[in-house]
Amino acid sequence: MTITVGLKASIDLTVSENDTAIALRSGEVPVLGTPRLASLFEEASVAAISNNLEPGYTSVGMRIHLDHFAPSGVGTTITATAEVQEVDGRRITFRAQAKCIDNCNTNETVIGSAIIIRVLVDTERFLQRVD
């Protein structure tokens, strides 16, 4: 199987108390924490290519540039979409975006975006490098 430009996936999340900046210790407000948004973007990028990986291979995160534009309170539903933008050898670049889709002031509000780079690795060889 091959990783190609255009592969994409979306992941939905209804923000809970566990997803807040307070719970994640990244702030003092009860809204979606930026670390949770980063995790959601990573989850979508993994899902975008999971069915196209060679047996024995996985991808690992290398870099994420994230912008978090707007707050999302507990009970708000957001959807994060990641799409493959470039494939350069083992490096895969994704463009990701999150939108508020339910319980928002304005539906379809973009709350964040990211550029994510993941690297394809042989799972067994990669794990041999772990200390």
Order of strands, edge to edge, in the sheet holding 77-88?
Answer: 8-14, 77-88, 91-102, 109-122, 57-68
- Residue 112's Cα: distance from chain center in Å? 11
Annotated catalytic residues are: 34, 42, 68
Separation of alpha carbons 95 and 31, rounded Å:
23
CB burial class (10 A; 0-12, 13-18, 19+) of residue 19? Answer: buried
CA distances from 103 to 2, 46, 116 (A): 38, 27, 27
